[in-house]
Amino acid sequence: MVLYTTPFPNSCLSALHCVSWALIFPCYWLVDRLAASFIPTTYEKRQRADDPCCLQLLCTALFTPIYLALLVASLPFAFLGFLFWSPLQSARRPYVYSRLEDKGLAGGAALLSEWKGTGPGKSFCFATANVCLLPDSLARINNLFNTQARAKEIGQRIRNGAARPQIKIYIDSPTNTSISAASFSSLVSPQGGDGVARAVPGSIKRTASVEYKGDGGRHPSDEAANGPASGDPVDSSSPEDACIVRIGGEEGSRPPEADDPAPGGQARNGAGGSPRGQTPNHNQQDGDSGSLGSPSASRESLVKGRAGSDTSASGEPGANSKLLYKASVVKKAAARRRRHPDEAFDHEVSAFFPANLDFLCLQEVFDKRAATKLKEQLHGYFEYILYDVGVYGCQGCCSFKCLNSGLLFASRYPIMDVAYHCYPNKCNDDALASKGALFLKVQVGSTPQDQRIVGYIACTHLHAPQEDSAIRCGQLDLLQDWLADFRKSTSSSSTANPEELVAFDVVCGDFNFDNCSSDDKLEQQHSLFTHYRDPCRLGPGEEKPWAIGTLLDTNGLYDEDVCTPDNLQKVLESEEGRREYLAFPTSKSSGQKGRKELLKGNGRRIDYMLHAEEGLCPDWKAEVEEFSFITQLSGLTDHLPVAMRLTVSSGEEEA
């Protein structure tokens, strides 16, 4: 399949579209700014309360007449541009494909050679997030502002979180006799698929008590030790980069000093402990947990704490206490992940996106300029990106569309096929956006017999108004039909002569319904959940105890307790914090408007990550290894991103 790298089939149409949009944009920008000036966020209200001279109100009163005059002057040009822009949308393609050519050995082609479908299983990591990159006036309805700056910061945080070095930390302590739970980082080895040790693009400070294992036992270079700057592209030269760190009390070793933190200490305090009360949408500095542009390690990087029989023989005072402290950190992290020992996989609230993230699905990337900024940041880690997905005008849908679908997909693996469908059954405000579903087929490897190993991913955003359950159920029906049609139309295999082996089939996105609310019973019982497994769900209307809501209470987005990834993580690990800062469905029977209904689901979990257990290669099995609720985008969106790691193993390995 030919992937579209431009929105129009020829340069003439592209030029005409640019001219028409240039005529429309001044009017569009002025309307957006004018409306935004009358929709303050809670952060701006607090600033105004601290402004005794009311300077912001004076500025608004001064500039409003100017905006109105310019708006009236721009209307004729906007009308002329619209006359050209609207018919052009019938020739517009449903997405734009972008590939970063200059990736060197980190390219997707190199990743394909790392898994041949035999031997040890392969893990793939998926993440989804609603980032609310609407025009600024519309974003303010969700208590968010400064869309362009947020887009750049979101891209930086995702890129830097995913490009973190893989760290395996082993704690040697006479009191640590337990093995901590595996994190996302533990599912990769320090070697590539070809068995060659990889260089570590790490960010670990050297201390006398830290012993670097890997790459022949050599210390990483100074560049690796310092880590990439938060604003620079991150070179993820190998998907399986890893560093094994040993923290122990060997004879003659020196414990780390207090001003030289080791990864174990960072596990408790986050990656640098950013100051409380920072302004929202701020640029993270070195050491800030959101940016990760500094030598630091997260809780996820505490991969395997393994007990050793060694005892600390250091003669320095306080050595044992420091080692015991580090051992206790790992134990606490293990206890948090093992809170429900009957679960077959690990789960946690994480301050970072998982390291070595393979696939990213985003919703509500509606603003075109913000989408471009976000794409440029994500290209520092992802080689393949689809953006500006959807249709405009009256093309393909029943009503006129002012916004695209808001979907964006990023991948480290080559994209083979793409399809997009717009939901026809929408109403109210949702009818103005071309919400739909994006279907992708990616290649993740090849067998020694030259059979392609592929995976299927679907990203969607369903109808928003909570009372329209029937519309969402209809969209889920369409989603299932489109999934089946896409697999059938893109499959080049037959039962007798399979040319492709399917490793995974994943559906994710913002479904706009939860699994606990009594108002969402129709969606909870949909047949989609019989074909695809939800790792957080026990059954219709029943969540697993550890699952939490993904929709935040917008009134508290800028509170000091949740304004940083570390703070939000700590809040969500307590029941009281979840009650205060997560959105809960309102009870119609309570008679109190806005009253939070006490639900065992810990809030509205409307962002889903599903995977199929059937329809894969008969000899393979895809199992969830980790599931994570992520706080790294705190202050930048009103949703919690979620991530899932699947491990695909063959029957030969199990045997």
CA distances from 455 to 83, 403, 505 (A): 42, 29, 6
User: What CA–CA distance (Å, rounded) separates 383 from 366?
Assistant: 21
User: What CA–CA distance (Å, rounded) separates 427 from 462?
Assistant: 12
The owner of tokens 């996105």 is 509
Degrees to nearest 5, angle at CA 636 with 158 and 561? 110
User: What CA–CA distance (Å, rounded) separates 564 from 581?
Assistant: 13
User: What CA–CA distance (Å, rounded) separates 83 from 85?
Assistant: 6
User: What CA–CA distance (Å, rounded) separates 353 from 156?
Assistant: 11
Amino acid at 93: R
Q: How many CB atoms lie within 10 A of CB 344?
A: 8
Q: How many CB atoms lie within 10 A of CB 259?
A: 5
User: What CA–CA distance (Å, rounded) separates 406 from 329?
Assistant: 40
CA distances from 226 to 238, 272, 528, 639 (A): 18, 14, 47, 32
Three-class SS state of 214: coil
Catalytic residue, candidates 421, 463, 526, 639: 639
Q: How is the beta sheet containing 436-446 ordered, strand by strand? A: 415-422, 436-446, 452-461, 500-510, 607-612, 532-533
Catalytic residue flag (residue 639): yes
The owner of tokens 């306080």 is 318
Task: Please tell me what DSSP assigns to residue 637.
Answer: -
Phi, psi of 478 (to 5 degrees): -65, -40
Phi, psi of 400 (to 5 degrees): -70, 135
Contact 191/197 with Cβ under 8 angstroms?
A: yes
User: What CA–CA distance (Å, rounded) separates 448 from 193?
Assistant: 14
Q: Report the relative pairing of strands 532-533 and 537-539 from DSSP bridges.
A: unpaired
Catalytic amino acids? 639
